Structure 1
């Protein structure tokens, strides 16, 4: 209870400081006169964000009231919050960040791409909360798939697993792998159950894949965990990996998926040969 009260107070204090940073001019309002404090007035914030002045006042006072994602989105817009501030606001309000960012608008930090590239013999990917493939390294391109040849709309790990015939053939025990993937995807979707994208994506994939339709209805869930993965590459043959994943430090909506060559196998040598055989990019 004490922790919750601290959270509400922190939220109220955060809103006050953000309100003080936005000038009427920035918000599209006349400057006016006789402003005793810098920034916007509470009634101006309430009007601009489409919420009641009393309710917004309670928010700044740290009262125990639930805040919807729609209100947080409006406040983020009015206060012109950056990515870190927006994430902090949603965290304080006990709400999950929205996921309605199209994959082509996701830009990863160049440092993160260099880290990906440094994993020279471990096929690695960056995925968002919708399992869209945002970035990859040369090893992933050589051993898994050339994601550049896939349209951005279809560059989704779940979609590819169920609809791409060549990719499906690479999985050893595809049915087992695919069912586990659905269970992890459903567990992730539970955090964004109100996202219209989820409903539409599931509907489309049900139409494309009889297996997905059957297994999705089972409502199995599981968390992401370390595991062994075996791929049957059309050129290199059997590739065995130790798979793990990590949240990205500056954006927890992104995950780093790493497939490290399993010890006591020839996978590392095969990955190196595949990369050496790739055409040189101009």
Structure 2
């Protein structure tokens, strides 16, 4: 194969043909088959589409299938989560919408990643910005999430509803505007999370600042940047933040706040050293 030629499976048609060949026919499908896997008409019947149209898809003809059809094709071809994602990427050049399930589980391996960041506060959040895991540095610098009720572990509720939030954040207006812009993107990526929609409706009712900033309709990805906060014991801290998608985490992302200077790192280390005595 020439170096500049993609494998056949890198096209939608090639991917469909490859996956069709991997599916075992069900009982009663007959044994006299010249090729392995399902026939085109069997895939079409499973997916509820015409044989002609499915044949066009494998031949690279016709327009891109709708999300509904792609979901039916994923079921017909018995694709796992990775296969489903590749199908959407090849057909629509975007990942599939996230499936709405119970709260995603934080694996022990992911918790170990958090714990391996000794002086960098870090947490894992859902598309609705509920914090579901955190490390010791986050407890020392941001909040002791274990002492909060689940509803109180939401970043936006704390930003717009916690007394004293403005006092702790010297750049509160900029931080709040950025948070809402990134929250909009996270909710869109989640395919219209009902939890995110309910949170937005709740905060529109309870916070005039939320209503004002929400009406601006800004959208931004997390990217990287600086966050300043006043800590009651450590004083002013400056942190660099970065966000990372958690692969296989159904919309989970990990946000890491790295000390911006050696002085900030030393201040966090002192907070952590004081935690056992304060417990």
Q: Give the TM-score normalised by the residue count of structure 1.
A: 0.78
**2:78: which partner in 1?**
80
RMSD of aligned residue pairs (Cα, Å): 3.4
Please list the CA deviations of residues 130-189 of structure 1 after superposition, one character each: whole Å capped at 9, or x if unmatched. Answer: 444343222112211233445556644334322344656532232221012112223444
CA 1:205–1:69: 2 relative to 1, 3 Å: farther
Residues 1:224 and 2:222 aligned together: yes
Residues 1:270 and 2:271 aligned together: no
**1:96: which partner in 2?**
95
**1:245: which partner in 2?**
243
**2:18: which partner in 1?**
17
**2:136: which partner in 1?**
138
**Structure 1 unaligned regions, length at least 5:** none
Please list the CA deviations of residues 249-279 of structure 1 after superposition, one character each: whole Å capped at 9, or x if unmatched. Answer: 67795443221112153x3233223323435
Please list the CA deviations of residues 80-120 of structure 1 after superposition, one character each: whole Å capped at 9, or x if unmatched. Answer: 3233222222211223321234462244471x433322210
SS at match of 2:182: helix
Mapped to 2, the partners of 1:249 and 1:95 lie a distance apart of 16
Aligned residues: 272
CA drift of 1:217 comes to 1.0
Mapped to 1, the partners of 2:117 and 2:23 lie a distance apart of 43
SS at match of 1:104: coil
Mapped to 2, the partners of 1:238 and 1:166 lie a distance apart of 15
**2:3: which partner in 1?**
none
CA 1:206–1:11: 2 relative to 1, 3 Å: same
- Contact kept, 8 Å, 1:9 with 1:62, in 2: the verdict is no
**Structure 2 unaligned regions, length at least 5:** 1-5
Q: Which moved more, 1:243-252 or 1:219-228?
A: 243-252
Mapped to 2, the partners of 1:141 and 1:8 lie a distance apart of 47
CA drift of 1:216 comes to 0.9
